[in-house]
Amino acid sequence: MFYVILEGLISALLIAGGLFAFIGSLGMAHLRDFFMRLHGPTKATTLGIGSILIASIIYFSIIGGGTHLQELLITIFLFITAPVSAHLLAKTGLHQRLKYLDKTRGKPVELLEEEQAETPVMHSPNRE
């Protein structure tokens, strides 16, 4: 009975991981600009690969009779490096002044500061 529950958990993690990886890849292909495309591989795909690796940890711990640290180390490394690489890519995109759509919600602070510096500020005359 215990193995049936664990097999169900492993199956659910594999299906969820596959769905998240597929959704992340689909988002990367269909989103419109660089900054929106950045979310696909860094969020959904990371969660998908993480789910698959956790299923692998559970499976090989049951079959092998002991805990396998290789998958755990890969999972930790993935969860640490994915946000860092996404941050570096986003900063590079800002530095390169890559185009983004006006439909993209919110503007990066770096671009707002440049727009404010370029537009002249109209001051009202002092009324004394």
pLDDT digits 0-9 by tens, 77-126: 988 998 898 899 888 988 888 887 777 666 666 666 666 655 554 444 55
pLDDT for position 18: 96
pLDDT for position 13: 97
Q: Does a structural domain hold residue 126? A: no
Check if the beta carbon of residue 66 is closer than 8 Å to that of residue 79.
no
Domain range for 25 is 2-118
pLDDT top residue among 96 and 16: 16
Two tokens, residue 63: 């079959």
Q: Can you tell me whether residue 128 is helix, strand or coil?
A: coil
Q: Does a structural domain hold residue 21? A: yes
Q: Does a structural domain hold residue 49? A: yes
Q: Does a structural domain hold residue 37? A: yes
Q: Does a structural domain hold residue 125? A: no
Two tokens, residue 48: 């998908």
Two tokens, residue 7: 């097999």
Alpha helices by DSSP H, 44-104: 45-64, 69-95
Q: How many domains does the structure of the chain reveal?
A: 1
Q: Can you tell me whether residue 124 is helix, strand or coil?
A: coil
CA angle 111, 112, 118 (to 5 degrees): 90
Q: Does a structural domain hold residue 127? A: no
Q: Does a structural domain hold residue 113? A: yes
Report the 10 Å Cβ neighbour count for 26: 12
pLDDT for position 21: 92
pLDDT in tens, 33-57: 888 888 777 888 889 999 999 999 9
Q: Does a structural domain hold residue 19? A: yes
Q: pLDDT class for 15, splitting at 50, 70, 90?
A: very high
Two tokens, residue 22: 């597929």
